[in-house]
Amino acid sequence: MTSESVSSPAKVIQVYRISGYVLGPCEKCGKEERALLMFEDYGMGWECLSCGHTDRVDRVDWIDGDKLPPDWGLG
């Protein structure tokens, strides 16, 4: 009998380089109001600006540009 470790897929987010806007919905509330977050140990992740949920990620894929959602009122 062999035991194989099953690795989970890497958590990856796509982030606009200038604004820090993270593409995709929050896993908790479903709203698309996520922003890039850096933890105290310099790990990367995201925070939902609507419900406050945070999550760590394994990798950030950077997107050139400064997109913000229109309803943020900052663009």
Domain around 53:
12-65
For the entire predicted model, the pTM comes to 0.77
Segment 9-68, tens digit of pLDDT: 999 999 998 889 999 999 999 999 999 999 999 999 999 999 999 999 999 999 987 676
The number of domains in the chain is 1
- Does 72 reside within a domain? no
C-alpha span between 50 and 39 (Å, rounded):
19
**12 bridge partner residues:** 59
- Does 44 reside within a domain? yes
C-alpha span between 1 and 24 (Å, rounded):
41
